[in-house]
Structure 1
Amino acid sequence: MSHDFFEFLAVRAGEQWFAVDVQAAVEIRGPETFNRTRGEGRPTVTVREEALRVVDLRRLSGLAAFGSACPAMLLVQASAEVLALAVDEVGEIESVPRERVRAVNPLGFVFCRQTIALGAKGVLPLIDPVLLIAA
């Protein structure tokens, strides 16, 4: 793939679609059940005997959070940590000309620094995995 194109995975929370750089994507998983941790109470999911912190994209999007499970999950590399992004759906890998990636965030999601312009389909907020760590 040429450096003139940007590849991303589309993920959905409720009706809102987001983009995740394929370079940050580690693994797509199906339905998952969360573990509740003692103390801070953040949910985790165990993948190959490792507890990964769950980041609920529905909750971050202002929707009702997932309870103890989600229909789909995308593991993403966020700096040195792998996070489990709980979503309603993981779509296909898509590719756009790199100039469609813009440093604007008109929808105001704090875990997104950029958007991808899709023409008639509108814009997709581009998730910054590092910003998910603090979310």
Structure 2
Amino acid sequence: MKRILVSTLTLLLLGSGCLHAEGVNKAIQFQKGKTSATVSGIVVRGDTDRYTIVAKQDQTMTVALTSKEKNAALTIYAPGYSVTQEDGVSIIAGETLAGAGEGEDAAGWSGILPASGKYLIDVGGTRGNASYKMTVTIQ
């Protein structure tokens, strides 16, 4: 009985570590009267941190991403994207912003937004774990 209890506790602890490794998933909101916000984190190799932000068409958005080892990259999805789970893996479908698409290894982006709605900013490591800081500005 004692062995079963120890095994169960070990599995629970290992399982909770896996949940944490899935990365951040949160909305970016500006403080009252501010036009920018900064977030920071560490993304585990193979995972991504996801941030959403609501903005209007024709606003200018600037995203600046820095990382200690220059190994973080971002992908920005336009409104209308979808996120689904398949075999425990998140799959994002939708249009990306030019210059911040999948595989472009962008460390920043600036431009006029093509549509109103919720944008998704995906931050991942290009090699190994990535410690990063990201500032998003919308005017």
TM score, norm. by length of structure 1: 0.24
Relative contact order (alpha carbons < 8 A, sep ≥ 6): 1 or 2 greater?
Answer: 2
The structure having more radius of gyration, on CA atoms, is 2
Larger fraction in strand: 1
